Chain A
Amino acid sequence: MDELLKILQSNALESHANIARMLNVPAAEVARRVAAYERDGVIRGYQAILNEDQLDLDTVTAVIEVKVTPEREGGFNRIAERISRFPEVRSAYLMSGTYDLLIFVEGPNLQRVAAFVSEKLATINGVLSTSTHFMLKTYKRLGVLMESRHEDERLTVSP
């Protein structure tokens, strides 16, 4: 992967000027490459990684395994896209193994998520079954540990 993308992936707020220094290239080139990635859709957006457990939000997240019947010609894509369009669905993946789609659904409470599953998701033509698991605590998200950061324990000067 382009090192520019690696840098943005670890900190999307890094300024173009800073990235240019890190890569030893002109700032204008960084701006041009970032714009091209955005235009081509490689970069889909920039988000903060939150520790939601700290925010005392009254929301629940469900991880749902979905078995579906692939469609002739459409395969899994059409049904997966249809499911993905619900705003309640935060992420959706096609999986190998005992189920087909893994989706992450967020809702204000357990009842609302359950209602989404039974009324919206399970009733979609082609959905064979669902298995819903509720998330209890987040330890790591998007490669970032949620534990509080440790102090640097190294000696301040060493050979």
Chain B
Amino acid sequence: MKTSGSRSLPSRIADHVRDIPRSGIRDFFDIVSTMQDVISLGIGEPDFDTPWHVRESTVFALERGATHYTSNLGYLELRRAIAGYVGRQFGPGYDPEREILVTVGVSEALDLALRALLNPGDEVLYHEPCYVSYRATILFAHGVPRAVTTSAADGFRLTRAMLERHVTPRTKVLMLNYPNNPTGAVMPRAELEEIAAFAEAHDLLVITDEIYAELTFDDAHTSIVSLPGLRERTIFLHGFSKAWAMTGYRLGYACGPAELIEAMMKVHQYTMLCASSFAQKAAIEALAHPQADIEGMVAEYRRRRNVVMQAFDDMDLPCSRPLGAFYAFPDIRKFGLSSKDFALRLLQEEKVAVVPGSAFGDCGEGHVRCAYATSLDNIREALPRLRRFIGRLA
């Protein structure tokens, strides 16, 4: 019952939660979902089905009764499989007993890492444009987000000089996400070495979200954690959502030095307890034969990337060439519309959904994200519509 003088509900919400806006993607989704026959280039998840052997093993796991709590860290069998895969694929070895934590997606792993590491006021360097949750997750952990702007001119890659401009004595963590959502940028080894030197020079911890690591089109992915000296200051985050098309399973993992994993485990233990048991069983199966599943998907994303980039070229739409993930991030500044207006009008006039770049940080303004995680038929239908639309704007 409301009594006179009681404070309004919104005013009782914690400041640091109330002050964070909802994801721009969420707002846009609400608009798109009211419309019919939209071709969506706005979907940040694979269009491929989860490989059947993985789904089938999930069913088997349920039949067998894998429906109970698991160890807080996750099934040891899965952690062993992860240790093997990460060692082969990315370089460093991790002890499955103490250095790997299975989480509910990389999103949870990131949240745990930041909560485990940050004291209020500690600063976190991260690059923008970036995944929609980074800034919010830092703020929820009472950290201070320090965005480092990257731009199409640099292929959306980071340089040491950019980072040096934002580092302070309070900086504690450097967050990386390559291959990148929303730009498709990757960091070649030589440039990563500079970033690694920067992290060492300032004694920073590194959190690297490499959820798109398998999805590179031209050169094999290099993880910063494979560079000399970096393993001991890095939390490596990865998962099954993108390379295995398992987004709904919500399964990720963190690898890192035992002391840091132990701290993350504490938060996980008291908040999440463990990741879904049968999802973990499915992940064991996914890791049993990873290559066959992934190769076909990467080949298809590469073809789509080529189709999209050639069409952008033909319509004179500037776009830094994506080298990984499944996103293109064209520059729409010449049309004089905000990215939100551009996306709204494209949706209303041509029924094509893209995501306004501003959803990925202030410096994403002037761009839109086009995900090519949709069939070539859809892409071929969407591109002429986009062309017609910008033809009218020009």
Residues of chain A whose beta carbon lies under 8 Å from any beta carbon of chain B: 3, 6-7, 18, 21-24, 152, 154-159
Are B25 and A24 interface neighbours, CB within 8 A?
no
Give the interface centre of A6, A7, A152, A156 by most chain B CB atoms within 10 Å: A156
Query: With contacts A155-B43, A158-B42 known, what are 10 further pairs, Cβ within 8 A?
Result: A21-B307, A156-B40, A157-B32, A157-B33, A157-B40, A157-B353, A157-B355, A158-B29, A158-B43, A159-B25
Complex CA–CA separation, A157 to B311 (angstroms):
22
Are A7 and B353 interface neighbours, CB within 8 A?
no
- For A24, what are the chain B residues with a Cβ–Cβ distance below 8 Å? 306, 310
Complex CA–CA separation, A143 to B233 (angstroms):
47
- Nearest chain B residue, comparing its CB with the CB of A24: B306
Are B44 and A159 interface neighbours, CB within 8 A?
yes
- Nearest chain A residue, comparing its CB with the CB of B133: A159
B:129-179 near A, CB below 8 Å: 131-133
Are A21 and B306 interface neighbours, CB within 8 A?
yes
Give the interface centre of A7, A22, A24, A158 by most chain B CB atoms within 10 Å: A158
Complex CA–CA separation, A156 to B307 (angstroms):
22
Task: Given A157-B25, A157-B42, A158-B29, verify A22-B306 contact (CB < 8 Å).
Answer: yes
Are B33 and A156 interface neighbours, CB within 8 A?
yes
Are A157 and B43 interface neighbours, CB within 8 A?
yes
A-B contact pairs, 16 of them (CB 8 A): A18-B307, A18-B380, A21-B306, A21-B310, A21-B311, A23-B303, A23-B306, A24-B306, A152-B47, A156-B38, A157-B28, A157-B32, A157-B40, A158-B42, A159-B44, A159-B132
- For A156, what are the chain B residues with a Cβ–Cβ distance below 8 Å? 29, 32-33, 38, 40, 42-43, 353
Task: Given A22-B376, A159-B131, A159-B132, verify A154-B43 contact (CB < 8 Å).
Answer: yes
Complex CA–CA separation, A61 to B304 (angstroms):
39
Complex CA–CA separation, A18 to B380 (angstroms):
9
Say how far A121's CB is from chain B's closest CB, in angstroms: 36
Give the interface centre of A6, A22, A152 by most chain B CB atoms within 10 Å: A22
- For A7, what are the chain B residues with a Cβ–Cβ distance below 8 Å? 303
Say how far A140's CB is from chain B's closest CB, in angstroms: 11
Residues of chain B whose beta carbon lies under 8 Å from any beta carbon of chain A: 23, 25, 28-29, 32-33, 38, 40, 42-45, 47, 131-133, 181, 299, 303-304, 306-307, 310-311, 353, 355, 359, 376, 380
Question: 3 tightest A-B contacts by CB?
Answer: A22-B303, A157-B42, A157-B29
Are A159 and B23 interface neighbours, CB within 8 A?
yes
Say how far A6's CB is from chain B's closest CB, in angstroms: 7
Are B307 and A158 interface neighbours, CB within 8 A?
no
- For B355, what are the chain A residues with a Cβ–Cβ distance below 8 Å? 157
Complex CA–CA separation, A18 to B307 (angstroms):
8
Complex CA–CA separation, A159 to B325 (angstroms):
13
Say how far A157's CB is from chain B's closest CB, in angstroms: 4
Complex CA–CA separation, A154 to B304 (angstroms):
19
Complex CA–CA separation, A125 to B295 (angstroms):
47
- For A3, what are the chain B residues with a Cβ–Cβ distance below 8 Å? 299, 303
- For A21, what are the chain B residues with a Cβ–Cβ distance below 8 Å? 306-307, 310-311
- Nearest chain B residue, comparing its CB with the CB of A22: B303
Are A158 and B25 interface neighbours, CB within 8 A?
yes
Task: Given A154-B47, A157-B353, A158-B42, verify A22-B307 contact (CB < 8 Å).
Answer: yes
Complex CA–CA separation, A23 to B40 (angstroms):
23
Complex CA–CA separation, A7 to B359 (angstroms):
35
Complex CA–CA separation, A24 to B321 (angstroms):
13
Complex CA–CA separation, A3 to B380 (angstroms):
20
- Nearest chain A residue, comparing its CB with the CB of B131: A159
Task: Given A22-B306, A23-B306, A24-B306, verify A155-B299 contact (CB < 8 Å).
Answer: no
